[in-house]
Amino acid sequence: MDQRSKPLVIEQLSLSERILVVEQIWDSIAAEQVSLPATSKQQEELDRRLHAYRDSAVEGASWEEVKNRLGAKK
């Protein structure tokens, strides 16, 4: 029987083995670098945010300002 046709019994794997399987699956997905197209609603929102960013006179906050707002310790 071909290895690929044998069912994988997840419950028989240890926690660390299951994590390794998930990592291998994720790595195989990431290696393909396939981009899913945005829906029309998502594209509209991206365009809206980009226009708002470009039209804004405010450039944002420095990393120090953000950390201070979040109460991060230095």
**Domain boundaries along the sequence of the chain:** 38-74
Residue 48 DSSP SS3 = helix
Residue 70 DSSP SS3 = helix
Alpha-helical regions (H) of 3-39: 15-32
The pLDDT profile of the chain, 74 residues, written as one tens digit per residue, is 455 666 678 889 999 999 999 999 999 988 887 788 899 999 999 999 999 989 987 778 889 999 999 987 65
Distance CA 36, CA 30 (A): 12
Distance CA 17, CA 7 (A): 16
Cβ 18 vs Cβ 26: under 8 Å: no
Cβ 38 vs Cβ 46: under 8 Å: yes
